[in-house]
Chains A and B, each alone.
Chain A
């Protein structure tokens, strides 16, 4: 995820053209290595064990390495070794750009330093961000102005980003958070969270992206906005909110949720709109505090 952020930064600062960025990102896709691949390569885990960890990741809000240790497949020392050998996406992007003669190494160094300064990122935070620590990325790049539950909303969005990456699209990137007084949804799945913290949550997008999103989650080729497509997006929201409630419950706060519903062209007010770029389109998650 950080690769896309850094790539967009280079684009906005004029280091790259959109075409150059696109080509660079395309080129690094094949060279990015997963921790599981590295673990198998190192002989620390079997392919079957990595599959089991991947499955467990769908249910537990934990990283691959953390789960692999819990499940007894890796020890701390092995994990450290694998993490240090894991290629960092933004470095791959920079390498591609330098190799293609689009940037010099000096320009890259300058851009990285500007980036840290512009976002007030400490070396420690940068260490976490460049390892795609989603909680740190969301914490640093999103703001919920005026919210009395900003920490909880950031946790909610970080979890949503992780679930998007796990179930829908590993290239998902948060693009912006805006606060809007009025907004007209095109196609939206809605679910209310109630209790000590009350939130109305929506996944909203256009028809085409809704169908593609639904197809990804259902693992079926859906071609129209039918009952199955509505059920698929609704169930993803339900799954995400369910995991969120479990996380909050572990902090001692018990919340409830209502059955999910799907609407077409509804108006909402006083919401935070968090936009995500996916490989097949854009989606928004809308949050209205109660």
Chain B
């Protein structure tokens, strides 16, 4: 695949997690699926701001994050862009959090620690190349 086509087919992914380790590991794991342009946020407010400015193709959002929690951030992103694709990646997959995430408009909930297969499935499902 040539560089020109790759550039046209490169998706933008925003990763919001307060842990620099999680952001790094998630970038590494997603990079095994394809080539992406990554954007990073360490808190919910920064994620909303970056989303509005950059309109990424997919968002990975933690729930327990500083400044603005993940659910509130998802709601604000969805208010701004109803087509936004937000995947929750959290260690706290309680029934309550699952319900809140779905209600807020998240399209998927991945409980940490994630498996590579789960990430591959998300990429396949939401980021179809050439479409």
- Residues in A lying within 8 Å of B, measured CB to CB: 55, 58-59, 217-218, 227-228, 231-232, 234-235, 238-239, 241-243, 245-246, 249-250, 254, 257-260
Classify the interface of chain B: helix, strand, loop or mixed. loop
A interface: dominant SS: helix
* Pick from A55, A231, A238, A249: contact of B94, CB under 8 Å: A249
Sample of 15 further A-B pairs with CB below 8 A, known A249-B94, A259-B66, A260-B19: A218-B21, A231-B21, A232-B21, A235-B19, A238-B19, A242-B93, A242-B111, A242-B112, A246-B92, A246-B94, A246-B111, A257-B64, A257-B92, A259-B18, A260-B18
> Are B64 and A258 in contact, CB atoms less than 8 angstroms apart?
yes
B residues less than 8 Å from A232 (CB atoms): 21
Cα separation A138 to B113 with both chains bound (whole Å): 25
Determine how close the nearest CB of chain A comes to the CB of B45; give it in whole angstroms.
13
Question: 1/0 contact trace for B15-26 toward A, CB 8 Å?
Answer: 000111110100
B127 on interface, CB distance cutoff 8 Å: no
Cβ–Cβ contact A242 & B90, under 8 A: yes
Tell me if B94 and A245 are in contact (CB < 8 A).
yes
- Residue contacts A-B, CB under 8 angstroms, 20 given: A55-B115, A58-B113, A59-B115, A218-B21, A231-B19, A232-B21, A234-B19, A235-B22, A238-B91, A239-B112, A239-B113, A241-B91, A241-B92, A242-B92, A242-B112, A246-B93, A246-B94, A249-B94, A259-B65, A260-B64
Alpha-carbon distance A235/B23, docked complex (angstroms): 11
Whether the Cβ atoms of B112 and A249 lie closer than 8 Å is no
Whole-angstrom distance from the CB of B70 to the nearest CB of chain A? 10
Kindly provide the distance from the CB of A255 to the nearest chain B CB, expressed in whole angstroms. Answer: 8
CB-CB under 8 A from A239, the residues of chain B are 91, 112-113
B131 contacts A by Cβ under 8 Å: no
Cβ proximity bits B80-112 to A, threshold 8 Å, 1 near / 0 not: 000000000011111110000000000000011
**Min CB gap B25→A, angstroms:** 8
Task: Kindly state the separation between the CA atoms of A110 and B111 in the bound complex, as whole angstroms.
Answer: 48
Task: Give the distance to chain A from B121, nearest Cβ to Cβ, in Å.
Answer: 15
Q: How far is it, in angstroms, between the C-alpha of A241 and the C-alpha of B63 when the chains are bound?
A: 13
A-side contacts of B64, CB under 8 Å: 238, 242, 257-260
Q: State whether A59 touches B19 (Cβ < 8 A).
A: no
* Residues on A with beta carbons closer than 8 Å to the beta carbon of B111: 59, 242, 246
In the bound complex, do residue B95 and residue A249 qualify as a contact, i.e. CB atoms below 8 Å apart? yes
Complex contacts, B92 vs chain A, CB 8 Å = 241-242, 245-246, 257
Return chain B residues, CB-CB under 8 Å to A218.
21
- Smallest distance from the beta carbon of A254 to chain B beta carbons, Å? 5
A22 to chain B, nearest CB (A): 33
Interface centre among B65, B66, B91, B95 (most CB of A within 10 A): B91
A199 to chain B, nearest CB (A): 15
Specify which chain B residues have a CB less than 8 angstroms from the CB of A242 in the assembled complex: 64, 90-93, 111-112
- Find chain A residues with CB under 8 A from B22 CB: 231, 235
A244 to B96, CA, bound (A): 14
B21 adjacent to A59 (CB under 8 Å): no
Residues of A within 8 A of B21 (CB): 217-218, 228, 231-232, 235
Measured CB to CB, the nearest residue on chain A to B22 is: A235
Complex alpha-carbon distance, A218 and B22, angstroms: 9
Tell me the minimal C-beta distance from A249 to chain B in angstroms. Answer: 4
Contact of B96 among A59, A241, A254 (CB under 8 A): A254
Note all chain B residues with C-beta closer than 8 A to A250. 95
Task: List, in ascending order, chain A residues with CB within 8 A of B19's CB.
Answer: 231, 234-235, 238, 260
A55-B115, A238-B64 are known contacts. Are A228 and B93 too (CB-CB below 8 A)? no
Question: Which 9 A-B pairs have CB atoms at the shortest separation, nearest pair first?
Answer: A242-B91, A249-B94, A242-B92, A231-B21, A235-B19, A231-B20, A231-B19, A239-B91, A254-B96
CA distance A245 to B95 in the complex (A): 10
Q: Determine the distance from Cα of A258 to Cα of B92 in the docked complex, in whole angstroms.
A: 11
CB pair A249 B20 closer than 8 Å: no
